[in-house]
Each structure stands twice: as C-alpha cells, then as structure tokens.
Amino acid sequence: MTVESPERTEDDSSEVVPVDPAPPASAKEPVVPPAAEVEKKPFIVTLRGWLRDYFLGEDPTLGIAIVPFCFLSMLLFTRHPTKTNFIFDEQEALLANPYVRSIADAQPKFRWVDAFYRDFWGLGPDRSIGSYRPIPDLVWRALWGLGAREQTPFLHHWVNVLLHGVNGALVCMIAFHFTKKRSTAWLAGACFTASAVLTEAVSGVVGIADVLGGTGALLAIYAIFARMPFMVLGVFFATLFGLYSKETALVCVPLVPVTVLLTAQLTHPEKPRRWLRAALAFVVAAGAFVLYVEARRRMFPAPMPPELSAEANADKPLAARTFAAILRWYAQPTLPKDPLNNPLVNAHGLPRVSGALRVYFRGLEQVVFPWTLSGDYSAPQEPVPTNAFAIENVLGGLAMLLPFPIATWFGFSAWRRWRTKPAVEKQDYSTNEFGEVVIHQAAPSRGVDTRLDLRPVIGACLLWIAVSYFPVSNIPVLLPTIRAERFWYFPVIGSSIALAITFDALLARFRTGPVRYVVIGGVVAFFLFQGFAARRHANDYADDLAFWDATRKAVPRSAKAHLNYSVMKGARGDLNERLAANQVALELAPQWPMASIYLGDTLCRLHRAPEAWPHYVHGFELAPNDVNLIALALQCLWDEKQLGAETGERKELDTLKDKYPGTWLEYLGRDILEHGEEHNGVDPKYRPRGYNEGPKE
C-alpha cells in the first residue's frame, strides 16, 4: 500500500525547501560493501594486532599489567589444588603455629594484634628462633579463619602466586617510568615474574615473607616517581610494610635514596632536585626502620645473644665494638647455629667470607641460567672452601664490589651529560605506537643524541643486586642456612630491569638482518628456559615426598635431603627405602645426631632393634639434650620390648644415663626405666609431634 503526497494548490503559502544539488563524485562517502563481502583478516593477524594494542598501545598501568602477570605467575608456579600437603618449613609455620591456629578455636587464645608480640612461627620472644614477621602471620591467620587449615595449604600458597603477579606488574610500571619505553617495561615485568630462581619463594608457603617484603620494596621505589610530599609518605609506609613482612627490607634504607640520587633527571626531568629528594628519601626510610626496631624491642623483647654483650666485645677493635653495639640496638633475636644447615658457623675470617662469596656467585648463575634449583643446600653440599681464592670465590667478590664504582661512574657521567645537554634531557617524553621513546623538542641539533641515558638505571640495578643480597650473604651476620634461593627475591628486582634494558637495546640495535633473528631467538630462548625451569621446580612442591625426592637428586650431597626423603618414604610404609636413604644421610654426615637416631629408628621399626641400639647410643652421646630424638628412640625400644628387666639394652641405658647428669638423656632414661609401665613407654607429654601434626596441647 502506498501513500500519495497531497497536491499543492495555488493558495498554499507554505515555504518550499530547496533541495541541495547532488554532491560531486569526489565528495561522496565511500560505498561500504555488504558485511558478507568484507574481507576477513586471518585470526593470527587479528590476534597479533590485539596483542600489539594491549602491550604497546598504551602505557602500562597496574590495571593493565596485573592481569597478564598474575596469569603468568599462575601458569608457572601453581601447585595442584588437592594433591599437595604441608612441606618442609610449612609444618612449623602453619601446622605448629599456635597464633595462626588459634583463630579456629571457640575462644581464641590470641588476639589479632598478638602477631606483633609473636615471631614468624607464632612463638614468644623467649622461645623464638629469630624471625619476626607479623604481616605474614596476619595473612595466614585470616586464611586459616576462612577454612584453609590442615587439609591443604593450597589457598595459602595461591596467595603467594597472586602477590607475585602483582609484584611483576609493579616491576613493569617501575621500568616504564625509568625508561619511558613500553617494550622494556613489559620485558622487565616478564623477567621478574618468570624468574625461576624465585620458585622457592613463590611456591613455598613460607616464602610469603619474601614476596610481601618485595612488595614493600617495590612500592618504595615506585613512590620516588611521585611529587615530593607523596614520595615522602610513600617511601615511609612502603618501607615500614616491607620491614614488618621481612626484616631484609632494611635494604630500602640505603638503596631507595641512592636510586633517587642516580635517576633524578629521569624521574623528574623538569626539577630533579636530586640531593633534596635523596635526603628526604633517606630520612623517611631510616625513620621507618628506627620506628620498626624500637617498636619490636618493646613488643618482642627477645633475649640478646651473649656474644653481642658489651663485656664480650670490650677487648675487640673499635669497628667490632661499634658493630656489636649496632646489633645490640637492633635487638636481633638469637638465630640458631647448626653446622649441618650452615657450615660457615665453624669458619672464621677469610674462609667464611670466601665461602659466602662463592654462594653469591652461584646464585648469580642461577638468576640467568637456572640449571639446578633446590629447596635445601644443607651440608656437606656447600662446605667451607679449602682454597679461599678459588675462581668462584674471586668472581663472587668482584660481583659484590664492582657495582659500587660502576654505579658511581654511570651516575656521574650521566649527570655531566645532562648538565651539558639540557635541551635534550629536560624535554617531555612520550611513547609512540611501537613502544619507543619520543623526546619532544622544537628543532634538535644535528648529531645530537636524543636517546635517554639509562646508565644511571643500570647502575642502580647493579647496586640493588649486590646490596640487597649482602644482609643474607652470611658475611655481616651468620644465618641459620648457608644458601636459599628465596634470598634472591630482592636482588632479582634489579636484575630483571637490567636484563630488560639489555634485551631491548639489542633488539633496537639490530632492527634488520640475520643478527636480529639471532637476538630474538636468544631472548625467546631465555624466557622459555626460565619458564621451563620454574614450572619444573614448582612441580617439586606438589607434596612432601616429591619435594624431598627432587631435592636429594638436585643436591645429592645434602644429608638433610636424604634423611627427609627417608622420613617421607617411612610415613608411607616403605621402610626398606627409608633404610637405604637413611644410610646415605649417615654416610654424608656421620656426626649428625638425627641421622644416627633415625637410622636406629628405621631398624627398630623393621623389628631389628638389636641392630638399632648402637646407632641409638651414638646419637645419644652426640645429643644428650635433644628431648625429641631421645624420646623417639626410647619409645620404639619400649614398643619392641627391648627395655625389659633382663635385657642388655636396659642395663646399658641405666649406665649411659648416669654419664650425662642433668640432661634429657638422664631424665627420660630414668623416667622410662622407673615409670615405663605407667606411661606405656615415654611420658606422653615428652613424645615428639608426629609428621603433619599440629602443636601438642
């Protein structure tokens, strides 16, 4: 049906609207073909364009960077959600942590604020083994309250994984603010997130202290890009957060101001004010450190080690007395000293320093080439060096010392260049669609180099590697362990940015030709190998048996690795395999009491108690005050009917206990001989906690 227009009459006075003439052909809009006729781009071309737009189309922010780096962290480090259990230190940190577990009680014994009055393991200052990290305990307690308890540590572990992805995003943002180049920023974040040497910190639950401490350090670095008032607040609170997460965040006190000093013309090109900014950063970072120490001294008054007392240092040189006085003020809780975990406790002077430098160099190798990764390096895997000037020791010393003159020269020469070429360096920067820096200036002089001078950033990165590792190097203070890959969480911040700048410079240098493909292949191979090594090592954390099996293979001269593997096999009923691994541990560490006692215990459980007795005796004599080992041995002997009235073992025990008066051997030996029938062996309150068991009530 059509509708006809009404005819126009002569009396119609309505205005006639003129009709515009047809536009010329050149002005016509292009004809859009039907949708069916539009040429569709191949999927790979579309995906490539989308990836380029996402990663190079705009400057990386936290919202943009956090998603890919969290997914990368999950891909590389996630444990199996159900086929996992509590591994290694997770036993003490969670299962035996009274502060964490208290949240599940009807009437919790501990308040939330008690995290600041307990140590990392939930113990009071009189029982502490040296670690004070309240923020990780708060996180664990919250997760425990949400239901992440004895069944699986997966949720505790997954928090590490996600936080590591967040840290990768922060590294990406920091690298962009330094270099003004998107490609370098993404490479830096990827270097950090995929770094295989960080697997222990990310995949192990107790590594949350390193991850959160790293978060504090990264936030402190990121704060230096802000205006001065916000920088002051940011550095203060970020440093304080890092210190309450892990004490090694104290490296922010020297490193953040030095980074400000070296890079001020890059972070604030219009008004660097480097000395003022550096001084303020130092004051607030040091203020956060002093506040942390003074608060800890009052809330967690740990006993002072005798060797730090003024009397013990009275006859030492001035430098030694001063260092002891600083440590007394710092009030570091007493750290355990076990030569099995750290052989350097028996070394002094040059052998101790050279051994520490050798470990440092081997760690640097693992950052770039993570051929072998392990969660344990106990003796005799890393012995005290017999030659203080071996090649690895010397290279470790050079790697520790050279960053200082290199950073100084890079900083000075970059400052001199900035002073002589302000027309280039003091302009605004932006980034083009390829992620490359564009310096805005009206008419650059011919031959003038308009590239950013990133030497100060390289210098700052080198300092971050050396200085942030130094407190855990066993040079200033002996630690409970000689070597741990989680110690590298702070240094890898610096190495990641330095590697990213290097990779991107090579890619920019060789834009065409066959060499470019070699460079691209090398960069891709680096990331593929890092990812492969990280994923492979993360699989070692699937469960306790997998962990110790992988560890004994990675570090075959670690007595602890073989002994713990034997315990895992024994817990699964394979006593013959337990016996074989136990014997390897004893061969590696014949003076280790636990190796002797556990070998005896294995033989005892195989109903070969007479063969077990000599190993028990050897262990008793090596550690007459180790209540757990003695109770373990005596209980098995009782169960095997070896402490009856007429047995030779009973008579020998009666004689042996009297040789060590005032020890647990004397007390428990006497108690079981006199009250064994009443307690059915050892008094239950002295029996050791079983594997995967919570604290004894």
Task: Give the pLDDT confidence of 59-73 residue by residue, as tens digits.
Answer: 999 999 999 999 999
Dihedral sign, Cα of residue 645, residue 649, residue 652, residue 654: negative
Amino acid identity of residue 223, one-letter, is: A
Angstrom CA distances, 175 to 189, 193, 453, 478, 526, stand at 8, 14, 14, 34, 19
- Provide the pLDDT for residue 7: 41
Task: Enter the DSSP assignment of 152.
Answer: -
Check whether 54 has a pLDDT greater than 80: yes
Sequence-separated (6 or more) residues with CB below 8 Å from residue 605: 570, 575, 636
pLDDT in tens, 29-45: 555 555 555 556 676 76
Given a contact cutoff of 8 angstroms between Cβ atoms, the answer to whether 76 and 528 are in contact is: no
Characterise 523 by phi-psi region: left (phi > 0), alpha (psi -120 to 50), beta (else).
Answer: alpha
**Residues 6 or more apart whose Cβ sits within 8 Å of residue 284:** 232, 233, 235, 236, 239
Class of domain 558-686: mainly alpha
| Segments making up each domain of the chain, as ranges | 558-686
What's the pLDDT band for 688 if we cut at 50, 70, 90? confident
Residue 121 has pLDDT above 70, yes or no: yes
pLDDT at 569: 94
235 is written with which tokens? 């550095």
Q: How big is the chain, counted in residues?
A: 697
Backbone phi, psi, residue 97, to 5°: -90, 105
Calpha distance 110→106 (Å, rounded)? 12
Token pair of 239, please? Answer: 């440093």
Residues contacting 626, CB < 8 A, separation 6+: 593, 664
Higher pLDDT, 249 or 431: 249
pLDDT at 34: 57
Q: Does the structure show a pLDDT above 60 at 695?
A: no
pLDDT in tens, 156-211: 899 999 999 999 999 999 999 999 999 999 999 999 999 999 999 999 999 999 99
Closest by Cα among 373, 667, 362 to 532: 373
Quote the pLDDT of residue 630. Answer: 95
Residue 548 has pLDDT above 60, yes or no: yes
Q: Poorest-confidence range of 277-291, 302-316, 657-671?
A: 302-316
pLDDT of the residue at 5: 39
Partners of residue 438 on adjacent β-strands = 430
Residue 447 has pLDDT above 60, yes or no: no
State the DSSP string of 299-365.
HS-PPPPGGGSTTTTTTS-HHHHHHHHHHHHHTPPPPP--TTT-GGGG--SHHHHHHHHHHHHHHHH
pLDDT exceeds cutoff 50 at 125: yes
In this prediction, residues 270-283 reach a mean pLDDT of 95
Q: How confident is the model at residue 304 (pLDDT cuts 50, 70, 90)?
A: confident
Cα distance between residue 221 and residue 235, in whole Å: 7
Report the SS3 class of residue 272. Answer: coil
Residue 443's pLDDT is 44
CA dist., res. 542 & res. 538, Å (int): 7
Give the span between the Cα atoms of 85 and 541, in whole angstroms.
9
pTM above 0.75, yes or no: yes
Mean pLDDT of the residues in the chain: 87
Predicted local confidence at residue 644, as pLDDT? 80
Q: Name the residue among 364, 366, 351 with its Cα closest to residue 400.
A: 364
Residue 408 · residue 400 · CB < 8 Å: no
Cα 673 from Cα 647, distance rounded (Å): 12
Cα–Cα distance, 242 to 215 (Å, whole number): 7
Place 448 in a pLDDT band, splitting at 50, 70 and 90: very low
613: pLDDT strictly greater than 90? yes
Instruction: Tell me: pLDDT of 312 over 70.
Output: yes
Look at residues 477, 447, 515, 471 and name the one whose alpha carbon lies nearest to residue 328.
Answer: 477
User: What are 236-249's pLDDT values in tens digits?
Assistant: 999 999 999 999 99
- State both tokens at 409: 């020269």
User: Are 192 and 171 a contacting pair, CB within 8 Å?
Assistant: yes
Above pLDDT 70, what percent of the chain?
88
Mean pLDDT confidence for 332-345: 86
d(CA 513, CA 77): 37
CA–CA gap between residue 613 and residue 604 (Å, rounded): 8
Low-confidence winner among 6-10, 344-348, 545-549, 556-560 (lowest mean pLDDT): 6-10
pLDDT at position 690: 58
Reported as a single tens digit per residue, the pLDDT across 621-645 is 999 999 999 999 999 999 999 988 7
Give the per-residue pLDDT at 368. Answer: 96
Q: Is the pLDDT of residue 334 over 90?
A: no
Q: What is the pLDDT of residue 646?
A: 77
Q: What is the mean pLDDT of residues 70-98?
A: 88
